[in-house]
Amino acid sequence: MISLERALRLRLDGLRWHPRSGDRFAVLQPELDAEVFTISEMTIQAHDYPTGTVLGFNGTTEWALDSVAQDDAVWLPREDQLRELLGGTFRSLARAVDGTYQVVVEAPGRPERSFTADTAEDAYADALVELVALALDRLP
């Protein structure tokens, strides 16, 4: 699973989350930040209001947590979601002899770049951080 630090970095860099069933997230409160929640119509639903999206807990959870504003949650995209976000820039994923993962991407007009991390999700996330920065014209 993507690390919370990388998820926060992607959010800070401008990656937008549109909650849907199956999405994983963490709640940005000290007593809950180690917990991972999954949106499911049975237990947690995204409710869109003019003031913002609220993630509603439907009474089957163990604690008295009714809802949380989307701004108080951080998306933890799955490997397939990260690969989808990389789109046509994605070239390959490989596992190295040392057990790390390497993702190779190539943005239009740029040379191929590789990103290595302990998990495939984190390697994808590192590549996405750079692509988001490139899209926002933050890279030379």
CATH classification at residue 15: 3.30.160.20
79 DSSP 8-state letter: H
Strand order across the 44-49 sheet: 44-49, 52-57, 67-69
* CA gap 20, 70 in Å, rounded: 12
Q: What's the pTM?
A: 0.78
**Amino acid residing at 114:** S
Rounded to 5°, the CA angle 68-133-94 comes to 90
Domain limits at 33? 4-137
**Amino acid residing at 23:** D
Q: What burial class does residue 4 get, using C-beta atoms within 10 Å of its C-beta: 0-12 exposed, 13-18 middle, 19+ buried?
A: middle
pLDDT in tens, 54-111: 888 766 544 555 678 889 899 999 999 999 999 999 999 999 999 999 999 999 889 9
Per-residue CA distances from 39 to 36, 45, 100 (Å): 10, 6, 29
pLDDT in tens, 17-33: 999 989 999 999 888 87
Q: How many domains are there within the chain?
A: 1
